[in-house]
Amino acid sequence: MATVLRPASTGPAAVLCLTVLLATACSSSDADPSGADSASGESGAEVSITPEDGTDEVSPDVPVEVRAEGGTITDVTVAVDGDEATGADEITGTLNDDETAWTSDWTLTPGAAVTVTATTEDADGETAEAVSEFTTQEAVEGQRLELESNFPTSGETVGVGMPVIVNFDLPVENKAAVESAMEVVSEEPAQGAWNWFGDQTAVFRPEEYWTPNQQITVNMRLAGVQAADGVFGIENHQLNFDVGRSQITTIDSDTKRMLVERDGEQIQDFPTSLGRADTRAYTTTSGVHLTMEKYDQLVMDSATVGIDEDDPEYYKLDVEYAVRFSNSGEFTHAAPWNNQLGEANLSHGCPNLATEDAKWFYENSYMGDPLIVTGTDRQLEVDNGWGYWQRSWEEWVQESATGEPDATDEPGTPGSPHGDAE
């Protein structure tokens, strides 16, 4: 099989692609139980593999390591349970500068039979091969980390501000390891980082808005990552979505205008009416929001934001063309009853629009389009909806468990998903 080399993401070392092969007919190994093996008596090179041949119940987060003496490593392949790897299941490894040591980049599936085959070449061109066959320990029932949901989902087209949001079914304690197992790859150069909101939600955003019109791939190599003591990820996932055109909307509470800019040119100017601001609840939040979801018809019930039926301020309205941009009840929507659009702020907090204007915005909005509100004295919280752009880039990187930015146009992640070697 051909060997593929690529630059390492964290340094100058070359990287040898570790291709996961079908193991339907694993050949018997000549490697001894110590893990060291010289497969050819004619070769002066010897190769050793860790975990050792014949080992059972290997922790899935222990790295696979190959070392050569008297030669260089020319190829490493891994077969896992007879399944050929594609997408997020593909395991790669990092080769050191003198090509004598190779370490896997990613963790292994729990409860799997693994075959590692390594080939070396000595100065005379003679080759040697070593094989290590071992099994990984099962993930225990109730301690299997799984992906509960993610935004966006594969196949979606989103706005330039869209983060990657991953929700887990169990709390994550080893956040740096889990961050390091999730590789975000963009077609255009960018750097980004993960932040955590609670122990079960990880969010990735770039330093600046995504370059428009490109595809983003997220390889969530969670199988084998130890998320907490004895809690292992059990499955890998790959997410593919497209970033569409750039559309950025600005709403000014002072001018009471809603301006829509697409790909750097203003294309709409709508009169609007924001929150009347006589209470905090009725004050539209200022800051960088993202459009989250939309409804052609929606019942707006104030009880969902804490104003119950027995309150004189209670309301329940049927509205059209509603686009959500926070979790505190804020939507742009049609308000044909408001006859002071562009003149006065009279709403309960939502930017009111004429029906035709609200319909246009509804029809032309992607999830993740930036929507910036200015001029009010209530600031959007970073965890109110998708207010993630409210956090500065410097603070965002500091809040990452790895504490380092990730170059998304390069392979790999800043940290390591592995635990301590046994």
For the chain, the C-alpha Rg in angstroms (whole number) is 27
Q: How many residues make up the chain in this entry?
A: 422
Give catalytic status of residue 237 as yes or no: no
CA dist 104 and 378 (Å) reads 49
Tokens of residue 230, six digits: 């004895």
Give catalytic status of residue 333 as yes or no: yes
Cα distances (angstroms) measured from residue 344 to each of 7, 267, 276, 404: 58, 23, 8, 46
Nearest CA to 51 out of 132, 118, 109 is that of: 132
Nearest CA to 356 out of 370, 340, 376, 336 is that of: 336
Find where tokens 């019942």 sit.
299
Provide the strand spans (E) within 106-190. 113-121, 127-135, 144-145, 147-151, 157-158, 164-168, 182-186
Active-site hit among 17, 237, 350, 418: 350
CA dist 280 and 105 (Å) reads 49
Residue type, 223: A
CA dist 348 and 333 (Å) reads 12
197: DSSP letter: S
Find where tokens 């070359």 sit.
14
Active-site hit among 237, 289, 333, 348: 333
CA 102 to chain centre: 26
87: DSSP letter: G
Cα distances (angstroms) measured from residue 109 to each of 76, 90, 166: 18, 12, 20
Catalytic residues: 333, 350
